[in-house]
Chains A and B, each alone.
Chain A
Amino acid sequence: MTRERNLRRVPSAVLTGLIGLLAVVVAPARAAGQAGVPGEVALAEEEAFRTAVAAVAGAVVRIEPGAAAATVNAGAEAAPSSGPSTGLVIDADGWVVTTAFAVPADVTETVVVFPDGSRGVGRVTGRDETRGIVLLRAAPLPAGIAPAAAWVPRGELAVGQWTIAVGRGWDATAPGVAVGILSALHRSWGRSVQTDAAVSPSNYGGPLIDIRGRVIGVLAPLPADTAGMNAGTELYDSGIGFAVPLEDILRVLPRLQAGETLRPGIIGIGYRSRDAVNATPVVAVCRAGSPAVRAGMRPGDRIVSANGRPVTRVADVRHVVAPLYAGDTVELGLERTVGDRPPQLLTVKVELTATLPPWRRTVLGIVPVRVAGGEGDAPANAADPAGVTVGWVWPDGPAAKAGVRPGDVVVAALAADADAGSEAQRIDAPAVLAGFVGGLEPGRRVVLTVRRDGAPVEVAVETGVVPAEPPTEVPAREGDPAAVRVVRLEAAELPEPVLAVVPDGDPKAPLGVLVWFDQPRGAVDGEAALRVWRAAAARHGVAVLVPSSADPQRWGREDIAAVARGLEALRGKRALDPSRVALAGSGAGGAFAWLAAERLGPGVRGVALVGAVIPRQATIEPAEPGRSRAVLFGGTVPDPAVRDADRQRLATAGYPVGTLPVTDGAGPPAEMLCSWIEALGVL
């Protein structure tokens, strides 16, 4: 068989040119791996890989781990990795691009090893926190460094083309090579491209190049949702790797050279649904003092375009906004419906910001009647689809002072100092009222339109901060304690059912939910749990989940998964009020309740820790609309200073922190916790 005949048998292989003596074959992806393709092609490609790597090797340097990094960051978390990483020299003045993985935040200088083995100090000049990119200055460069010159514009990239990842983490003097194809173009919300070449700590910071040796981008551990310094590093062996296009880095290079830290740009809105992929981008909250408020956005606005691109889902908006920086401006097209008039279209220019003023949950002191809903839904008011029915008002709260009464139906709300001529927002669900109130700072006057005895009445209420302490008395539902049963919640992939103490009754009457983590002791005794929780569960209409720990010695991650599935199963049996879900626990179970709440997400509205402190590995994210929870501390802990520190951290982050008056060893404070569940619904 001749070589020529073989080549013709590759139908879509395109010979794009000759580099020296070798034929370079692009397209189709991994074609050479298919049977019938001659070995010559594979070997020619191998030569092409080598030539491409040689073209860029003079620009690829090693970034040493550890020592220099620790000079400015003496903390225990100084260096995320003790292995060497990679950097890319982008011009002769000694500018080197690398990643935050190699040079974590707060580190100001690091050691660079050049291909000839000599060392230099790289000083951090700028950071791009949206992409995890760090710019170093390592001057003067030794002889023999050839800064990366050729790069590929985004527009020329095609999925399926060869990509080669080059790094010096393995060997400072010879470049490491990994070969793959371009897997996808717009990843990490438009901030990266994806390759199946092996990307790992050894080549983070190195270039991803094309078969001609031109730089596509800089390899980085960039996950879809950036969270934490090392996010994305776990993907190193999975066939998924990311590179930040060099085009994007060069665009902001002057700013990085000037010493700027580029941070993600924030609009300051929350959406009505947390389902980013499918949900329509309808604004639920505009944070006080946010760019959204400055631009005149309002709860209820539907975003229909972003920078000229039509958007129909929350994800579409993120694709436009995530690549932008604080200080950039995004133009949003909004559809606003006022009253029964046809929707109006308007355009706002939003200048993105890096941080928002600290947020604390604002309330009116209205506690709506319970409304069922799935997690993340905006539940409709079953009692009155055209409003929010007031169940009770918080004693001495703003609504009480303004004369709001149980049974009133809130149908509209207007911030008193809104633009002249703006109309009240229609309120048809507790979530809508929550969004409206959440966007206001404390001390704002709100005019509520309530229907009372069939007639509309206007009530002026001044917003207040959510109270930290639950009221001593809450209106009870007084269910029958005899009609409380232990329910076994079963679900697929759940080895053991989760036990729950559930009051009988109308399956449509929404229950509150409490998950109680006791000291871990393996399987829970259902009868004992019933004795503890029966009266309080009936009195306040609360389903109490009492999970078992898979390991009798400790609570673990699988126990959280079991709770999540148990909750799903319960939702299939009974109506649940999503605004009244809390986790609580005692001792090790209390610390674990905090971790479980972090993992279960914003659906958890309260956490109570009895005889426990917040575990050290926990993160306390600042409170935000849609992500705030009430916290209660009870019982005593070995070191009260630790708990005081917890209170301080939580208060700084904007969480209301109250006290649960319990005596040690008295068993779970069932009545107090179940009445607190009812109070969690306050708006």
Chain B
Amino acid sequence: MNGLSRTRPPWLATAVVLLLSAAIPAAAATPGETIAGAARSVVKIYGAGGVRGLEAYQTGVLVTPTGHVITVLSTVLDSDTIDCVLDDGRRFAGRLIGADPRRELAVLALEGEELPALPLAADQPRLGAGSRVLALSNLFGVAVGDERVSAQHGVVAAVVPLDARRGAYEAPYRGDVYILDCTTNNPGSPGGALIDWRGRLVGLLGKELRASTSGVWLNYALPIDEVAKAYDDIIAGRATAPATTATERFDPAVLGVILVPDLLDKTPPFIETVRAGSPAAAAGLRPDDLLVAVNGRAVPSRMAVQQTLGGLAAGDPVHVTVVRDGMIVDCDLGPRPAREGGR
């Protein structure tokens, strides 16, 4: 890894980016030309897997002419040999040179020169909902050898923080992603290129995950600026520890709010009693009030109340929204104490 960062320092990436972006036409190409141009940089990746429903293949994108491929970090890369097949059928052995476990991205190195790369332009503004996009990936592994990866089209449906899981596995990345109106949640798609209709790389297709709240399968991509940050960190050898996902819970009893006992999986957070003299009493909360939001975040369950309070820093103002007699009532509870029990 050190050797690589010596031969190709991070500033060079930026230089290459500027050079290449200048060469991209504004909007002249037909979609066919746009797709053909970008697909040259999309790599079919074959590695470990093939058991227990885990695929042994995924997609990656060449981001430097000297053979750096960005892809998603997955069990596919848990292999001594990672086969990388380019658009023209050339086959390279990929070497894993580093990974960002929080964003779940990895960089592979191919031994090549003057390879067709799509620049990682980190300075692009984020796309908004409704932006048209194209997804290029080896979904279901249907493209082999010099066959071009599949192109799909759609729009960005929403830009929201990722809250996703697959079974017991919870995605560590909690930043914004592009939710896509495009069925990219398929075996083989992770690591594929998300491009705009001008042919620019705008994101990287994410893993096969479900939304934590609704359970629907997610079609999403990591925005290009996050991808570029991960790339720069990996190339520079910076350690990127996974974010702590387990939020500390904070009992609202500390604020004087005693909720009804937790009898069901998702007990609605009704207030059972309000302790006299507490911040809750001062704010006017009453028994039988139903908590619906803490600091603007919906709290459909007792646990959600504890987690949302736990996610605040000590001293952050606590603002709760309750339903009382069919009306919405907002209350300020003042700063959140540092620790439970006031220690």
Contact = CB atoms under 8 A, between A and B. Distances in A.
Interface of A: 1, 6, 32-40, 42-43, 45-46, 49-50, 53, 64-68, 70-71, 76, 79, 81-84, 109, 111, 113, 117, 119-121, 123, 169-171, 174-179, 197-198, 200-202, 236-237, 239
Contacts of A34: 31
Interface string B287-302: 0001111001011110
A50 B128 CA distance: 9
B268 A71 contact: yes
A68 B158 contact: no
Output the residue of A39, A49, A109, A198 with the most chain B CB within 10 A. Answer: A39
B115 interface: no
Contacts of A81: 213-215
B318 interface: no
Interface in B1-41: 27-32, 34
Contacts of B130: 46, 49-50, 53, 177, 179
A67 B290 contact: yes
A67 B214 contact: no
Given A37-B30, A169-B214, A178-B157, A45 B132 contact: yes
10 contacts: A33-B31, A39-B27, A49-B132, A67-B323, A70-B266, A83-B214, A171-B158, A176-B157, A178-B154, A200-B214
Interface in B196-233: 197-198, 211, 213-217, 219
A43 B160 CA distance: 23
Nearest to B179: A170
Contact of B326 (A67, A123, A170): A123
Contacts of A46: 130-132, 155, 197
B269 interface: yes
Nearest to A108: B326
A9 to B, nearest CB: 10
Output the residue of B28, B155, B197, B323 with the most chain A CB within 10 A. Answer: B155
B326 A66 contact: no
A83 B213 contact: yes
Given A68-B290, A200-B216, 11 more contacts: A38-B30, A39-B34, A67-B299, A81-B214, A83-B213, A109-B323, A111-B298, A197-B181, A202-B158, A237-B183, A237-B217
Interface in B112-139: 128-132
B183 A64 contact: no
Contacts of B160: 170-171
B292 A236 contact: no
Nearest to B264: A76
A171 B298 CA distance: 12
B213 A82 contact: yes
A68 B27 contact: no
Contacts of B155: 46, 49, 177-179
A237 B216 contact: yes
B176 to A, nearest CB: 10
B327 interface: yes
B153 A33 contact: yes
Contacts of A53: 129-130
Interface residues of B, number: 51
B129 A175 contact: yes
Given A35-B31, A81-B214, A119-B292, A68 B323 contact: yes
Nearest to B293: A119
A34 B153 CA distance: 11
B142 interface: no
Given A40-B27, A66-B266, A66-B301, A174 B291 contact: no
A212 B207 CA distance: 35
A98 to B, nearest CB: 15
B325 to A, nearest CB: 9
A288 to B, nearest CB: 43
Nearest to A237: B217
Interface string B316-331: 0000010100111000
Contact of B157 (A33, A71, A79, A177): A177
A175 B217 CA distance: 19
Contacts of B32: 35-36
A111 B323 CA distance: 8
A278 B131 CA distance: 45
Nearest to A174: B129
Nearest to B301: A66
Nearest to A47: B130
Contacts of A176: 129, 157-158, 179
Given A68-B323, A197-B181, A42 B132 contact: yes
B292 A67 contact: yes
A65 B300 contact: yes
A677 to B, nearest CB: 44
A184 B135 CA distance: 26
B30 A36 contact: yes
A537 B109 CA distance: 72
B156 interface: yes
Contacts of B258: none
A42 B216 contact: no
Contacts of B299: 67
Contact of A202 (B27, B216, B264, B293): B216
Contacts of A202: 158, 214, 216
Given A45-B132, A67-B269, A123-B326, A177 B181 contact: yes
A612 B18 CA distance: 74
A36 B159 CA distance: 31
B261 to A, nearest CB: 13
Nearest to B129: A177
B74 interface: no
Contacts of B327: 121
Contacts of A169: 214
Contacts of B291: 67
Contacts of B301: 66-67
A83 B211 contact: yes
Output the residue of A109, A121, A123, A177 with the most chain B CB within 10 A. Answer: A177
Contacts of A200: 214, 216
B31 A37 contact: yes
A177 B133 CA distance: 13
- Lowest 9 CB-CB distances: which A-B pairs, in order? A83-B214, A66-B300, A170-B158, A35-B32, A178-B181, A83-B213, A176-B158, A70-B268, A46-B132
B185 interface: yes
Given A33-B31, A82-B213, A237-B183, A39 B326 contact: no
Contacts of B159: 171, 174
A39 B217 contact: no
A77 to B, nearest CB: 11
Contacts of A178: 154-155, 157, 181
B338 to A, nearest CB: 28
Contacts of A32: 31
A375 B298 CA distance: 52
Nearest to A170: B158
B214 A82 contact: yes
Nearest to A200: B216
A436 B38 CA distance: 70
Contacts of B132: 42-43, 45-46, 49
Nearest to B26: A39
A65 B298 CA distance: 9
Contacts of A67: 268-269, 290-292, 298-301, 323
A6 B296 CA distance: 49
A207 B153 CA distance: 22
Given A46-B197, A67-B291, A202-B214, A174 B158 contact: yes
